[in-house]
Amino acid sequence: MINDNNSRFSFSADYTLRVSNDVYEGDKKVSNPFNVETVFQRYSLSGAYRISDQFVVQATLPFLDATFEYAGVDIAEISGLADISLSGTWRPAGVPGLNLNLGFIAPTGEERDQPVINGGGIPSVFQLGTGAWQVLLGAGYTRQVNDWTLYTQVNINLPLETSTQGFRPAESYFLTVGASRALTESLSAGFAVQGSYTTKDEYLGIDLANTGAKTLSLRPSLVWQINDRFAMSGSVEVPVYRDVNSTAIATGPTWRIGFSTSF
Residue 1 belongs to a domain: no
Q: Tell me, what CATH number does 165's domain have?
A: 2.40.128.130
pLDDT > 50? residue 8 = yes
Question: What share of the chain in percent tops pLDDT 70?
Answer: 97
Letter string b/e over residues 121-151, b meaning 16 or more CB atoms within 10 A of that residue's CB: ebbbbbbbbbbbebebebebebeeeeeebeb
5-9 LR contacts (CB < 8 Å, sep 24+): 5/53, 7/50, 7/262, 7/263, 8/49, 8/50, 8/263, 9/47, 9/48, 9/49, 9/50, 9/262, 9/263
pLDDT confidence of 116, banded at 50, 70, 90? confident
Looking at residue 112, its pLDDT comes to 85
Do the beta carbons of residue 245 and residue 212 sit within 8 Å? Answer: yes
Residue 2 belongs to a domain: no
Separation of alpha carbons 122 and 116, rounded Å: 10
pLDDT > 80? residue 7 = no
Residue 4 belongs to a domain: no
Separation of alpha carbons 169 and 115, rounded Å: 11
pLDDT > 50? residue 233 = yes
pLDDT digits (tens, 9 = 90+) for 189-221: 999 999 999 999 999 999 998 899 999 999 999
Q: Count of alpha carbons within 13 Å of 195, Cβ hemisphere only?
A: 3
Backbone angles phi, psi at 170, to 5 degrees: -70, 160
Residue 17 belongs to a domain: yes
Residue 227 belongs to a domain: yes
Looking at residue 55, its pLDDT comes to 96
User: Average pLDDT in the 225-251 region?
Assistant: 95
Give me the DSSP letters along 100-136: EEEEEEE--SPPPSS-EEEETTEEEE--S--SS-EEE
pLDDT digits (tens, 9 = 90+) for 134-163: 999 999 999 999 999 999 999 999 999 999
What value, to the nearest 5°, has the Cα angle with vertex 119 and ends 114 and 125? 40
pLDDT confidence of 5, banded at 50, 70, 90? low
Residue 3 belongs to a domain: no
pLDDT digits (tens, 9 = 90+) for 53-99: 999 999 999 999 999 999 889 999 999 999 999 999 999 999 999 99
Tell me which residue range forms the domain holding 179.
9-262
Domains contained in the chain, number? 1
